[in-house]
């Protein structure tokens, strides 16, 4: 009986297992086949409809690129190295800036320039008129005519004196009057020349009713301080003219860096109006007096400003170059970091996406010197060097690549 019970239990177990393995007649398949069919019929979330991303590649439309402000530039080589950080301003030497005032008072009859105009040395900026200007010319003419008579009288009495006919007193009086009138005429002539009046024409009888106000240097008009019919007193500023081609860089070098600075060193700097452009200068003089707060010396550097697009007063941030290192460099905004790894995005020109669509590939790089907003990079082996990099919008590409959303049309 005991053995019979054991055999019955074993048979019951096999029956239960067999029933569970049998397909449900209502469903037509078991759970395992259901899962398999579900996997076969499930759509790939990264299929054609859901986006076109490959690993490390983002494809977007040109319109999307414009929306995110995406910019690309060819990979460039730059000189970066161990440099002394400095700040300062663009300045003009005193001889390259002119404050223009009249020598005599007068009313403004006409103004020939406006702010921003380029002028040459000697060019007329305005005309002043006043009765006193006419009086000076009249006095010059009268004294000049008188001088002709006094000269003749002096020469005649000198001849008589030499022959012993005339007294010494008469000769000396004629001589004194001739010399004093000559001095007056020369003084008036010099004054008229300072006023810009043609004295030869005045000697011939011509009278000018107005005097020109001219520029003593070539440059740009940066101030116009008068209006028509204004009365301008002597030595009152009317115009400011600056020769911006002679701009120099005035930098502060802190005490610890002074021994490292030498005349002739190259300076690389940027200004706010051209943040992506590296400008160059050269140290031409080093100050000898400390500023106390902060303790620093002034270093002056010559720059090339032939285009005139740099202006006095602009703030500058730069580096005095000690040792240069040439290599590939990209703007800081082009670098995307994930953990310890740095990446850049490049235009994927090996692929041919649809019209009005662009592909960008993310590649890993190692970084080096970081200076003046640029980062030195080393490309992976096998990556071509004549490539275009994404300089603006790299972080947007990176985040959207992770989301897998840029391939969708909303």
Helix spans in 277-405 (H): 394-403
**In angstroms, what CA-CA distances link 184 with 142, 191, 393?**
11, 11, 77
The domain made up of 103-241 has a fold known as OB fold (Dihydrolipoamide Acetyltransferase, E2P) (2.40.50)
pLDDT at 358: 82
pLDDT at 11: 36
Helix spans in 68-167 (H): 131-162
3-state DSSP: the chain helix, strand, coil percent, rounded to 5? 30, 35, 35
- pLDDT by residue for the chain (410 residues), tens only, comes to 444 344 343 333 433 334 444 444 443 444 444 443 443 444 444 433 333 445 678 888 888 888 888 888 898 887 776 678 889 999 998 999 999 999 999 999 999 999 999 999 999 999 999 999 999 999 999 999 999 999 999 998 888 888 877 788 888 999 999 999 999 999 999 999 999 999 999 999 999 999 999 999 999 999 999 999 999 999 999 999 999 888 899 999 988 888 889 899 988 899 988 887 888 899 999 988 887 777 888 999 999 877 778 888 999 998 888 766 678 888 888 899 888 899 998 888 755 556 678 888 898 999 887 776 788 888 888 887 788 889 888 888 888 777 764 444 44
For domain 80-95+243-325, give the CATH superfamily. Efflux pump adaptor protein, beta barrel domain (2.40.30.170)
- Strands (DSSP E) along 287-356, which ranges? 291-292, 295-303, 315-331, 336-338, 341-347
pLDDT at 202: 95
CATH for 57-78+327-403, options being 3.60.10.10, 3.40.50.300, 2.40.420.20, 3.30.870.10 = 2.40.420.20
According to DSSP, the residues that pair with 108 across neighbouring strands are 128
User: How far is 384 from 397, CA to CA, in rounded Å?
Assistant: 21
Residue found under tokens 């990446």: 343
According to DSSP, the residues that pair with 318 across neighbouring strands are 86, 269
Give the residue extent of every domain in the chain. 2-41, 57-78+327-403, 80-95+243-325, 103-241
What is the maximum span of the chain, computed from C-alpha positions, in angstroms?
188
Q: Which residues, including other chains, have CB under 8 Å from residue 186's CB and lie 6 or more apart?
A: none
* 239-242 vs 97-100, strand pairing mode: antiparallel
Q: Which residues, including other chains, have CB under 8 Å from residue 264's CB and lie 6 or more apart?
A: 282, 283, 284
Q: Phi then psi for 223, rounded to 5 degrees?
A: -150, 135
* 106-111 vs 231-232, strand pairing mode: antiparallel
Run of H or E residues at 192: helix 168-194
Residue 335 burial (CB count, 10 A): 18
**179 token code pair:** 């010399």
pLDDT at 409: 46
> 292 exposed, middle or buried (CB, 10 Å; 0-12, 13-18, 19+)?
exposed
């Amino acid at each position: 009986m005991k053995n019979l019970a054991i055999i019955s239990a074993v048979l019951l177990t096999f029956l239960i297992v067999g029933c569970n393995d049998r397909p449900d007649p209502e469903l037509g398949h078991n759970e395992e086949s259901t899962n398999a069919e579900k996997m076969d019929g499930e759509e790939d979330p990264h299929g054609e409809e859901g986006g076109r991303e490959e690993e490390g590649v983002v494809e977007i439309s040109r319109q999307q690129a414009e929306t995110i402000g995406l910019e690309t530039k060819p990979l460039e080589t730059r000189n970066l190295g161990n440099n002394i950080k400095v700040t300062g301003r663009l300045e003009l030497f005193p001889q390259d800036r002119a404050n223009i005032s009249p020598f005599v008072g007068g009313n403004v009859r006409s103004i020939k320039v406006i702010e921003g105009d380029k002028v040459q040395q000697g060019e007329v900026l305005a005309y002043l008129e006043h009765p006193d200007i006419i009086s000076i010319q009249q006095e010059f003419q009268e004294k000049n005519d008188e001088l002709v008579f006094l000269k003749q009288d002096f020469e005649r009495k000198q001849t008589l004196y030499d022959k012993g006919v005339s007294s010494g007193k008469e000769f000396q009086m004629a001589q004194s009057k001739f010399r004093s009138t000559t001095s007056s005429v020369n003084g008036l002539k010099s004054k008229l020349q300072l006023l810009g009046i043609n004295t030869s024409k005045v000697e011939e009888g011509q009278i000018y009713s107005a005097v020109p106000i001219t520029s003593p240097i070539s440059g740009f008009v940066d101030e116009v301080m008068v209006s028509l019919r204004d009365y301008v007193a002597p030595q009152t500023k009317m115009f400011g003219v600056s020769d911006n081609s002679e701009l120099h860089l005035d930098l502060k070098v802190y005490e610890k860096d002074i021994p490292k600075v030498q005349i002739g060193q190259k300076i690389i700097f940027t200004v706010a109006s051209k943040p992506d452009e590296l400008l160059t200068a050269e140290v031409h003089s080093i100050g000898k007096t400390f500023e106390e707060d902060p303790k620093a010396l002034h270093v002056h550097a010559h720059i090339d400003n032939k285009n005139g697009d740099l202006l006095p007063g602009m703030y500058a941030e730069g580096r005095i170059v000690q040792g240069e290192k040439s290599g590939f460099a990209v703007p800081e905004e082009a670098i995307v970091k994930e953990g310890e790894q740095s990446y850049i995005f490049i235009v994927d020109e090996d692929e041919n996406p649809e019209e009005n669509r662009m592909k960008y590939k993310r590649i890993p790089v190692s970084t080096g010197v970081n200076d003046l907003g640029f980062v030195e990079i080393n490309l992976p082996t096998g990556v071509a060097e004549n490539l275009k990099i994404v300089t603006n919008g790299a972080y947007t590409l990176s985040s959207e690549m992770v989301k897998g959303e840029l391939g969708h049309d909303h």
